[in-house]
Amino acid sequence: MRFSVLLACLALPAGAQEVSELFLRGYSVIPAPQRVQLEPGEVVFGPDWRIDAPRDGIAVRSLIADAASFHMIALDRGAGAGKRVRLAVQPGTVSTGLDAEIDKQAYRLRIADREIEIAGNGDPGLFYGVQTLLQLLKRDSAGRLVLPRGTIEDWPRLQLRFLHWDTKHHQDRMETLKRYLDWTARFKANMIGFELEDKFEYPSHPAIGAPGAFTTAELQEIVDYGLERHIQVVPVVQAPAHMAYVLKHPEFARLRADGNNYQSAMCDPQTYDLIFSMYDDVIKATKGVDYFYVSTDEVYYAGIDCQKTYNDENRSLMWVDFTRRATDFMTKRGRRPLAWVEYPLLPEHAGMLPPALIDGVIGEEEYLEAENRLGMRQMAYVSMQGAEFLFPQSLPHAGARGFSAGHLQSAFESIRNGRHWRGKPIGVFGAAWDDSGLHNETFWLGWSAVAQWGWNPGAARPEQHVADFMKVYYGPGAAGLTEVYRSMQRQADEWQRTWDLVVSKAREPGYGNSYGKGIGTTRYDQTLDPPPLPAMPDLEIKAAFGDKYATYLAENRHRMLENDALVTSLYENILRVDRNRYNLEVYLALARFMGHHWALLDGLHGAERAMARAAESARNGKPEEAVGNLVGAHNRVGRMQKDGERIFGELTRVFEKSRLPKGLSAGGRKFVHVLDDTKDHWADRTPDLGYMMAPERSIGLEAWQKRLGEVIQAYAKRHNVPVKGLGEARLEE
Residue 337, strand partner residues: 292
pLDDT at residue number 78: 79
Q: What is the DSSP letter of 35?
A: E
Residue type, 707: R
User: Under DSSP, is residue 618 helix (H, G, I), strand (E, B) or coil?
Assistant: helix
**Which DSSP string corresponds to 310-353?**
-SHHHHHHHHHHHHHHHHHHHHHTT-EEEE---TT--GGGGGGS
Left (φ > 0), alpha (ψ -120 to 50) or beta: where does 621 sit? left
pLDDT at residue number 151: 98
pLDDT at residue number 13: 45
1 band by pLDDT with thresholds 50, 70 and 90 = very low
- 15-50 tens-digit pLDDT: 456 788 999 999 999 999 999 999 999 999 999 999
Residue 403, strand partner residues: 398
Residue 150, strand partner residues: 38, 111
Helices 174-186 and 444-455 cross at an angle (nearest 10°) of 40
pLDDT at residue number 678: 85
Q: Which of 710, 693, 281, 418 is nearest to 536 (CA)?
A: 710
Distance CA 394, CA 442 (A): 10
User: Residue 119: in which H helix or E strand, if any?
Assistant: strand 115-120
80 band by pLDDT with thresholds 50, 70 and 90 = low
Q: Answer for the pair 619, 538: CB distance below 8 angstroms, yes or no.
A: yes
User: Residue 55: in which H helix or E strand, if any?
Assistant: none
Distance CA 440, CA 166 (A): 9
Cite the DSSP H helix spans in 462-543: 462-474, 481-497
Q: CATH code for 160-474?
A: 3.20.20.80
| Mean pLDDT value across residues 259-263 | 93
Q: Which residues, at least 6 apart from 348, have a Cβ–Cβ distance to it below 8 Å?
A: none
Q: Answer for the pair 55, 25: CB distance below 8 angstroms, yes or no.
A: no
User: Residue 307: in which H helix or E strand, if any?
Assistant: none
Buried b / exposed e over 465-483, threshold 16 CB at 10 Å, is bbbbbbbbbbbbebeebbe
| Mean pLDDT value across residues 214-226 | 98
400 band by pLDDT with thresholds 50, 70 and 90 = low
pLDDT at residue number 16: 52
CA-based end-to-end distance of the chain: 70
pLDDT at residue number 15: 46
Q: Which residues, at least 6 apart from 349, have a Cβ–Cβ distance to it below 8 Å?
A: 316, 317, 320
732 band by pLDDT with thresholds 50, 70 and 90 = very low
| Mean pLDDT value across residues 493-513 | 93
User: Residue 56: in which H helix or E strand, if any?
Assistant: none
| C-alpha radius of gyration, the chain, whole number | 29
5 band by pLDDT with thresholds 50, 70 and 90 = very low
Q: Answer for the pair 563, 595: CB distance below 8 angstroms, yes or no.
A: yes
CB-based burial of residue 597 (10 Å sphere; 0-12 exposed, 13-18 middle, 19+ buried)? buried
Query: How many residues in total does the chain contain?
Result: 733
| Mean pLDDT value across residues 128-137 | 98
Q: Structurally, what CATH architecture does the domain formed by 33-154 represent?
A: 2-Layer Sandwich (3.30)
Q: Answer for the pair 392, 404: CB distance below 8 angstroms, yes or no.
A: no
58 band by pLDDT with thresholds 50, 70 and 90 = very high
Domain residue ranges of the chain, discontinuous segments joined by +? 33-154, 160-474, 496-718
Q: Which of 342, 339, 344 is nearest to 303 (CA)?
A: 344
State how beta strands 50-52 and 84-89 pair: parallel
- 700-712 tens-digit pLDDT: 999 999 999 999 9
Q: What is the DSSP letter of 658?
A: T
Report the Cα 239 to chain-centroid distance in Å.
22
Q: Answer for the pair 194, 432: CB distance below 8 angstroms, yes or no.
A: no
Residue 526, strand partner residues: 501
pLDDT at residue number 387: 84
Mean pLDDT of the chain: 94
SS3 content of the chain, % helix, strand, coil (to 5): 45, 15, 40
Residue 378, strand partner residues: 359, 425
Q: Is the pLDDT of residue 132 over 80?
A: yes
CA atoms within 13 A on the CB side of 466: 18
8 band by pLDDT with thresholds 50, 70 and 90 = very low
Distance CA 500, CA 503 (A): 10
- 424-473 tens-digit pLDDT: 999 999 999 999 999 999 999 999 999 999 999 999 999 999 999 999 99
Q: Which of 271, 340, 684, 663 is nearest to 510 (CA)?
A: 684
Q: What are phi and psi of 189, to 5 degrees?
A: -80, 145
Q: Answer for the pair 629, 716: CB distance below 8 angstroms, yes or no.
A: no
Distance CA 46, CA 424 (A): 45
- 373-384 tens-digit pLDDT: 999 999 999 999
- 664-700 tens-digit pLDDT: 998 889 999 988 888 888 999 999 999 999 999 999 9
Q: Which of 534, 481, 490, 525 is nearest to 506 (CA)?
A: 525
Report the Cα 584 to chain-centroid distance in Å.
15
Distance CA 73, CA 564 (A): 38
Distance CA 666, CA 392 (A): 32
CA atoms within 13 A on the CB side of 213: 27
Helices 623-655 and 581-619 cross at an angle (nearest 10°) of 170
Distance CA 530, CA 533 (A): 9
Distance CA 542, CA 531 (A): 9
Same CATH fold assignment for domains 33-154 and 160-474 = no
